[in-house]
Each structure stands twice: as C-alpha cells, then as structure tokens.
Amino acid sequence: MTTQKEIKEMKITHDYAARIDYDLWMDCQRVKELDGATTSINSLVNEGLKMVRDRKMQEITAQRKQRNTLQSITTW
C-alpha cells in the first residue's frame, strides 16, 4: 500500500494528445533551440499551462471580488 508521503513525492502525470497549430509548433521548436535551459516541448507546454492557470485564477478572483462588491452595494 502506498503511503501519503510516497504519494506526495511521486510525480503524477496525465497523458494528453493535443492538436497543435503547425505554426505554433514550429515556434515552440525554435524557442527550444534558442533556449538551452528548456529541455523539451513538454516543458514549454507545462510552463505555458501554469501561466494560463495562474492568469485565469487571477481573473476569477477579480470577478468574484467585483461581484461581491456589487452585491454589497445593491443590498446596502
């Protein structure tokens, strides 16, 4: 049986087949060539997904705050 500590230490991944626009793919290939620190397209995809996640979470938080402010104003 796997312990909670072992689960936290494991890198759990999700395989996802994607259809990527050819020009975007070629741009990523070029970035990979130019950036010695980036080891794979997968690294670029994961980095991009994290950026989108963070931006979307900020947008959702801002919308929630605005909605709460509007509700407070209208019920006051």
Q: What is the pLDDT of residues 23-33, one digit of tens each?
A: 999 999 999 99
Q: How far is CA 53 from CA 6, 25, 40, in A?
A: 26, 20, 20
Distance CA 63, CA 49 (A): 21
Copy the structure tokens of residue 69: 């402010």
Show pLDDT as tens, one digit a residue, over the chain (76 residues). 667 777 667 778 888 889 999 999 999 999 999 988 867 999 999 999 999 999 999 999 999 988 888 788 887 6
Distance CA 47, CA 5 (A): 26
What pTM was computed for the model?
0.68
